[in-house]
Structure 1
Amino acid sequence: MGRVVLLWVLLCGSAQAFAQSSEMMDRLAALEQDPVKREQAYAAAEERILLCSKCHGKDGNSKRDYIPNLAGQNPQYLFDAFEKYVDGQRTDFVMNQAAKLLTINERVNIAYYFSQQQVQLRPAAAALDKALVEKGAQRFAAVCITCHGQKAQGHDNFPRIAGQPREYLTHALQRYRDKDPSRADSPMLAVAALLSDEDVPALTAYLSQLQP
């Protein structure tokens, strides 16, 4: 009986996640077709991102090197990340609490808002060793380009990683290499297993200076 109940809970959770993702896509499609709705969503998000802006910046450019930029990020990826923080698939004390304060509509609006912002590269990115950057470009082309695209822009559920802070990228890759349980469903676990200790600094150097 216990296994039946557990299976039912898992199926219900998956169905709910699918329904919410489908609702989000419908709302985004509606925004794309209606400029008035786009303006309304943008304005509503602008009023609601006060908490987000403390870490990620009002324009989506993070204020700390260990925090990701949300500017220019794929809205579907952002929304899905919100959902994973809401249901506990991802664990971060601040994000788990913040995501639960937002309605589905607010999460859609915020995802759309940040997707419209322009990424600003950090000054340190321009001073990186060119040989290291070139090595990172070669490794990216060999391992990452299939999912994240030629310029690391990502698409749909795959995030834009171009222009992300180097410290954040390093930490994220290390979590995948360490098989962090909170990332257990990610295809990045298999990809990260292909990376050597030398690959990580090269990739992060290349991506952090890549203009989105």
Structure 2
Amino acid sequence: MADDARRDAAYAAGQERILFCGSCHGKDGNSKRDYIPNLAGQHPLYLFEQFEKFGNGQREDYVMSNLAKVLTVEDRINIAVYYSQQEANPRTSPAPALVDAGRAKFQAKCAACHGQNAEGFRNMPRLAGQPAEYIKIALKRFKDMDPAVQSSPMIGIAAPLTAGDIEELAAFLTTL
């Protein structure tokens, strides 16, 4: 990322490789489907690490797991660079009345790792502007994980969240 020429070359190559990715995550990295995450504005290291996790089975998704296995390391890097340079677009909250409560919960429970504005950094994902449905799915997935089998700091964070907490966080995060 620090070498302008290499970053520009990776961006151009990534733009060519995202044709398949764009049908779900959007050509500009802003998902058109509420249950699929935005990739725009994510840190390239985070995106690359997620490809690796799908490829080695740490994360599972039918499409992503199969795709990660056929992309070269260079493809993964180029796609990560391309999407990291796209601008994430906020969405309208599906539950505007819950936004203030979600903001307070985010500041208390999430901002230390994900940033004050949910912008993420390095290996912490950007949550700002993510589709509300995706946020809810992800938090429920972490809440249901078995800490004896899986390891993620999110397991402990999500465990005490109520269904209402999850709704409030999703209502807020989608608007950033």
TM-score band (shorter)?
A: over 0.9
Matched, 1:100 2:100: no
The reply to whether residue 162 of structure 1 matches residue 131 of structure 2 is no
Match status 1:136 vs 2:102: yes
**Equivalence map 1:57-206=2 (5 Å):** 57-122=26-91, 124-125=92-93, 128-130=95-97, 132-179=98-145, 184-206=150-172
Identity %: 54
Residue aligning to 1:39: 8
d(CA) in 1 for partners of 2:175, 2:73:
34
The 2-side partners of 1:157 and 1:36 are apart by: 24
CA distance in 2, matches of 1:158, 1:103: 23
Alpha-carbon RMSD across the aligned residues, in angstroms, is 1.5
- Distance (Å, rounded) in 2 between the aligned partners of 1:136 and 1:180: 26
CA distance in 2: counterparts of 1:184 and 1:209, whole angstroms: 30
Higher helix share: 1
SS at match of 2:126: coil
Tell me the TM-score normalized by structure 2: 0.94
- Report how far residue 197 of structure 1 moved: 2.0
Letter in structure 1 aligned against 2:150: A
Moved over 6 A (4+): none
Max Rg structure: 1
CA distance in 2, matches of 1:199, 1:128: 13
CA distance, structure 1, for counterparts of residue 87 and residue 152 of structure 2: 27
Cα deviation for residue 134 of structure 1 reads 0.7
- Cα distance, 1:149 vs. partner? 1.0
Q: Say if 1:164 and 1:180 are closer, same or farther in 2 by CA, change over 3 A.
A: farther
Once the 2 structures are TM-superposed, how far is the Cα of residue 180 of structure 1 from its aligned partner? 6.2
How many residue pairs end up in the alignment? 175
Mind listing any 5+ residue stretches in structure 1 that lack a counterpart?
Answer: 1-30
> How far 1:56 moved relative to its partner?
0.5
Gaps of 5+ in 2: none
Q: Aligned partners of 1:149 and 1:36: how far apart in 2? A: 29
